[in-house]
Amino acid sequence: MCEYREIRYVHHMIHPVYGLELDTGCVCASRMEINPDAAKTREGQLKNATRRRRNWLSRKWRISAKGNHFLNTDGMNIVIYRVLGGWGGRITERSDEDPRVVPSRRVHPTIDAAKLAAFDTMILLKDRWHL
């Protein structure tokens, strides 16, 4: 809207009636929404996830009895393991009831690539599972 070109965190705004999509910064997004604090909240969550992803590989991953790397965080158990041709993993919801399990769909060339893919999936699942 304001044509300010340097936007670090882009908010994709879609008009519900016209279907038009605008890519805006936080200020314009907050002006376009009925709830101005929503844009600030979204941007804060994204900044937090960016910081967490940057430090994800340096976290202390534990080794299971089967020799797999695992981490318990954000109400989830994340396991990275060797598969034919590389690395895979799974994320399990840590709940007392019926836990949901999401296995990786891709084979990753390195353990670090598998861990980063698990982080990206964890962020999506946190929102979807409301954890």
Q: What is the pLDDT, as a whole number, of residue 26? A: 79
Provide CB contacts within 8 A for 83, sequence distance 6+.
107
Report pLDDT digits (tens) over 38-62: 888 888 988 999 999 999 999 999 9
Other residues' Cβ atoms within 10 Å of the Cβ of residue 127 = 9
Question: Can you count the helices (H) and strands (E) in the chain?
Answer: 3, 7
Convert the pLDDT of each residue in 66-112 to its tens digit. Answer: 999 999 999 999 999 999 999 999 999 998 788 899 999 999 999 99
For residue 33, the 8-state DSSP code is S
Under 8 Å between Cβ of 108 and 119: no
* Beta-bridge partner residues of 21: 14
Q: Which helix (H) or strand (E) holds 129?
A: helix 111-129
From residue 57, alpha-carbon distances to 17, 69, 119 in Å are 43, 12, 10
Q: Give all strands (DSSP E) within the chain, no chain letters.
A: 11-14, 21-24, 62-63, 69-73, 76-83, 86-93, 101-103
pLDDT at 130: 79
